Amino acid sequence: MEFTIKAGSPEKLKSGCVVAGVFAGGELSAAAKTLDKASSGALATILARGDLDDKAGATLMLHGVPGIEAPRVLLVSLGAASELTDKRYRDAVAAAARQLAASMAGDAAFCLAEADVPGRDLAWRIAQAAQILQDSTYRCDELKSRKEDSKKGVVHVAFITRAKHGDELQAALRRGEAIAEGLALAKTLGNLPGNVCTPGYLATTAKKLAKEHKIKVEILDRDAMEKLGMGALLSVARGSHEAPRFIILQYKGGKAKDKPVVLVGKGITFDTGGISLKPGEGMDEMKYDMCGAASVLGTFKAIARMELPLNVIGLIPSTENMPGGSATKPGDIVTSMSGQTIEVLNTDAEGRLILC
């Protein structure tokens, strides 16, 4: 999805759909008032029939409204004007995103960001909207042999402002897009099956991320971990044929002496429970046991795209937890990097072992 910001009046915009907000009781937002005036009161007449619920996130798609250049007008409820919150604004944007995704409009003029959310400026509202709209287009179809080729869905959104916009709003737009891109990376890594998203795959993803952005990456293999004495992590990896990886990411956007934010993400790319085997039902979902790692990688993508003035370190211990002839057994005692011994009573408690 592509985004732009433009100044203009909604009734004159030749887009596939104009999106405007309505408050509870049929109270029109500024954009909706402009559309209503241009249509000689058509919007108010339709709303008086009660087809749009007062709850934030309710929607009503109108076609061929007289006096409006756009062939479609999407009205979105924002709830009571005096009770508009961050959540209700986001709910309204998400509802609009769902309608636009199912529409043949192609492009849309988005006026919801004009809503006066207490404590939030226009830049915040645009950033949130861009993030939600972009995230609504996410699909995980990389491994499908036949991808769905749908002609539906808006591909370009113009955020409409009453006055000329400056660099602040463009930065907000990039911020929203960056967070959506980070979310997409995290979701994709989580959705990939365990035979694709292995510890090695996470390491390759980290290297690619470092190559694309100003991020430093270091990957520790089994030998390096053994030299460092990472016995707790290696004990979990013993039963797997997939080699473990310890991924270290560094983003330096702050001052040299600034203390870093450190993110640690669990990277169990598949968790059978080891010798303490999990029940078979639902075990396929244990590919999600690396979503901590996915979150760290997604966060690094977002902060690098936004060029945040922070120093951030990411630590991702990654392995599979599998049963096997060399797997750690219940009752075994292993030694952690700090030199402390740990008695493993249940091998399905692997998370604390790799994170410590």
Give the residue numbers annotated as catalytic, written as ranges: 278, 352
Six token digits for residue 111? 């006026």
Q: Report CA-CA distances (Å) from 38 to 32, 33, 108.
A: 10, 9, 18
Rounded distance, CA 295 to CA 267, Å?
10
Please count the other Cβ atoms lying within 10 Å of the Cβ belonging to residue 62.
21
Residue linked to tokens 């004007």:
81
The percent helix, strand, coil of the chain (3-state, each to 5) is: 40, 20, 40
DSSP annotation of 73 reads E
Between helices 291-306 and 199-212, what is the axis angle to 10°?
0
Six token digits for residue 9? 């009046």
Please count the other Cβ atoms lying within 10 Å of the Cβ belonging to residue 339.
8
Q: Which of 287, 243, 242, 295 lies closest to 268 in space, CA to CA?
A: 287
